[in-house]
Chain A
Amino acid sequence: GQQLNQSPQSMFIQEGEDVSMNCTSSSIFNTWLWYKQDPGEGPVLLIALYKAGELTSNGRLTAQFGITRKDSFLNISASIPSDVGIYFCAGQRYAGGTSYGKLTFGQGTILTVHP
């Protein structure tokens, strides 16, 4: 099935560093979401973006909905060891038919934080 292009695939950083990851699509989405997944668990919603150009923060996390509606990025500032995990972007469309509500996910970014 279709997946979004998410990069980088993995990151190894030192505690305290900032992190940036992004997601691109060949088609438009109405909503962009960022999730974090720990091993053996389901994804947990971090940030939801609903308007093109929107910049939203959640603590040390900041995400933006690209103006073209085909991309989004997530920044994590001052990383800590508990930021370790897999981060997924997801796009959602509202346009017509029965496709409302379905999420299309990126392949994930594996984040490792060294103390």
Chain B
Amino acid sequence: DTGVSQDPRHKITKRGQNVTFRCDPISEHNRLYWYRQTLGQGPEFLTYFQNEAQLEKSRLLSDRFSAERPKGSFSTLEIQRTEQGDSAMYLCASSLEGGYTFGSGTRLTVV
């Protein structure tokens, strides 16, 4: 197992387009998290799954954002009608207990 994998690493999109990111967690990890990180800031929590159940969503996750983890394995994060303010690094992490393992992130640039 090579850790948490995120795809794509970079995404440039035009304002108003939809984008989808994928996260493949460490296989035995039942918890999966999405965070967003803007320049000069620490990561901020977006949402969290335990197996396939989405247990918590941050107020940062507007109705343009949706996340799924259909079979309790990989997860997708979709942003509809992207805005320039959505430009950020989107980080996925997984855990079984205790400290997380983060992926390398998807850098989104909305132009």
Add 14 more A-B contacts to A101-B31, A105-B43 (CB < 8 A).
A1-B44, A1-B45, A3-B44, A4-B42, A42-B91, A42-B103, A43-B102, A98-B55, A99-B56, A101-B50, A101-B95, A102-B48, A107-B42, A108-B40
Which residue of chain A lies nearest to B53 when distances are taken between CB atoms in the complex?
Answer: A98
Quick one: which of B31, B33, B44, B107 contacts A40, CB cutoff 8 A?
B107
Q: With a CB–CB cut-off of 8 A, which chain A residues contact B45?
A: 1, 102-104
Contact residue range for chain A? 20 to 34
Across chains A and B, the number of contacting residue pairs, with CB separation under 8 Å, is 67
Smallest Cβ distance from B103 to chain A, in angstroms?
Answer: 5
CB <8 Å contact, A48 and B42: no
A1 to B45, CA, bound (A): 8
**Total interface residues in chain B, CB < 8 Å:** 29
> Chain B: residues with CB nearer than 8 A to chain A?
4, 31, 33, 35, 40-45, 48, 50, 55-56, 58-60, 91, 93, 95, 98-105, 107
Closest Cβ neighbor of A4 among chain B residues? B42
CA A40 to CA B4, docked complex, whole Å: 15
